[in-house]
Amino acid sequence: MLFMASAGFGFPQVAAQFPDSGVWKFLAFHTSHAVWVGGGAWDMIQPAFMFMVGVAMPYSLARRIRDGQPWSRQLLHILWRSLVLVALAVFLASKSAKQTSFIFTNVLGQIGLGYSFLFLLAGRGWRLQLGALLAIAALSWAAFVQHPLPPPDFPYTQVGVKAAELPEVLLPGFFAHWNKNANFASHFDLWFLNLFPTERPFTGNPGGYTTLNFVPALLTMLLGLIVGERLRGDGDQRAKLLWMLKVGAASLLTGLLLGAIACPLVKRIWTPSWALYSGGIVTLVLAALFWIVELQGWKKWTAPFVIVGMNSIAIYLMDQLLPAWIVTTLKIHLGPEIFSGPFGIVGQRCAVLLVLWLICWWMYRRKIFLRI
């Protein structure tokens, strides 16, 4: 969440001023989204967020079971949480619109759309969960494959694709089934999103994101659920670490293999290969943190992150709504030139991040936690 709230520390903007610098190119790559195929550290934020939703679910459900809540009441709570998450996604999508924008590609909306399905698989055993994971991956892949390939004269620039992006978003041969805004999921949105009242007819998402991303994104949350249930279960801590390393490596390698032969690694439409590839990476990251914090007992350094983690929804909403106001306020009190110069954007991003963290710290000290 802190990495997301940093807005990439302004590194991509600085890198544009130094086009010949390999260091700045590297930093820009890992602090901005890939145009289509692949991705760096910045593209791992959403997979990590969704993965941790799955990891957290067994702990949340266990607490409710200890409190004596029946399954039916748990289900109603899950449905309510899903509805609120989707509503928040629509609210955020509408923040600069003249009327409600019924867009569901925001990460909160994606989690909300898949959350109830994830709940239905919780506690069902790893075999059923693994079977569901494989079935979702296969069905998602098949849905794109059965959709006709875009014709050579497909009007990409009329469906939200920039002309400058065409070399990167038009894929060769069989992989053209996953071209930007010319695929199964984008075709679904041409029908689905135009069912809602809009300022203008929906023709395509500029980023290539689609509502149906939540289906393959279930793979990421489901992988987190499997890991979470293993972590919460009995067994030796080192055995759990080794198991996570095996699962993470297997998922990562499977994603890379599928990305080479079955479907491209595209985060913006959450291809099954991307779900497994990114899921493997975040599993390995969790394994590393598990070794550092749980096995080695090095916990003090985590305090700044715990403060934010206890209010992840709060900092997400603040990051979506407050940065411009924070910058304007800082300029009023510290001077309009406070963020000038070639590296001023870095100072600006860091200042916003600090303010958001201080708000979370204030809430933490007063035991104010925003929950759904």
Q: Which of 298, 325, 348 delimits the end of a domain?
A: 298
Same domain, yes or no, for 23 and 102?
Answer: no
Q: What is the pLDDT of residues 136-177, one digit of tens each?
A: 999 999 999 999 999 999 999 999 999 999 999 999 999 999
Does the pLDDT value for residue 127 go beyond 90?
A: yes
**114: which 2 tokens?**
């898949």
Same domain, yes or no, for 294 and 308?
Answer: no
Same domain, yes or no, for 9 and 156?
Answer: no
**Identity of residue 178:** W
Distance CA 45, CA 32 (A): 11
Same domain, yes or no, for 213 and 291?
Answer: yes
Report the predicted TM-score, pTM, of the whole model to 2 decimal places.
0.94
Concatenated DSSP letters of 155-201: -GGGTT--GGGHHHHS--GGGGGG-TTSSHHHHHHHHHGGGS--SS-
Count H helices and E strands in the chain, helices first. 16, 0
Q: What is the pLDDT of residues 229-263, one digit of tens each?
A: 999 999 999 999 999 999 999 999 999 999 999 99
What is the number of domains present in the chain? 2
Q: Name the residue with tokens 């297997």.
A: 250
As a whole-number percent, the residues of the chain with pLDDT over 90 amount to: 97
For residue 254, give Cα distances in angstroms to 172, 198, 226.
22, 40, 17
Three-class secondary structure of residue 372 per DSSP: coil
Q: Which of 278, 298, 285 is nearest to 245 (CA)?
A: 285
pLDDT at 344: 95
What one-character DSSP code corresponds to residue 266?
Answer: B
Does the pLDDT value for residue 96 go beyond 90?
A: no
| Banded pLDDT at 97 (limits 50, 70, 90) | confident
Same domain, yes or no, for 352 and 217?
Answer: no
Same domain, yes or no, for 133 and 206?
Answer: yes
Helix (H) or strand (E) holding 305: helix 303-309
Provide the 10 A C-beta neighbour count for residue 163: 8
Distance CA 166, CA 220 (A): 28
Q: Name the residue with tokens 């994971």.
A: 133
Does the pLDDT value for residue 81 go beyond 90?
A: yes
| Banded pLDDT at 371 (limits 50, 70, 90) | confident
Given its phi and psi angles, is residue 127 left (phi above 0), alpha (psi -120 to 50 degrees) or beta? alpha
Q: What is the pLDDT of residues 22-61, one digit of tens each?
A: 999 999 999 999 999 999 999 999 999 999 999 999 999 9
Does the pLDDT value for residue 186 go beyond 90?
A: yes
| Banded pLDDT at 228 (limits 50, 70, 90) | very high
Same domain, yes or no, for 195 and 312?
Answer: no
Same domain, yes or no, for 11 and 61?
Answer: no
Give CA 304 to chain center in angstroms.
22
Give me the sign of the Cα torsion angle 12, 310, 243, 116. negative
Domain span including residue 208: 37-298
Same domain, yes or no, for 122 and 260?
Answer: yes
pLDDT at 372: 84
Same domain, yes or no, for 97 and 139?
Answer: yes
Mean pLDDT over 365-372 rounds to 93
Residue 311: Cβ-neighbour burial (10 angstroms; 0-12, 13-18, 19+): buried
Mean pLDDT across the chain? 96
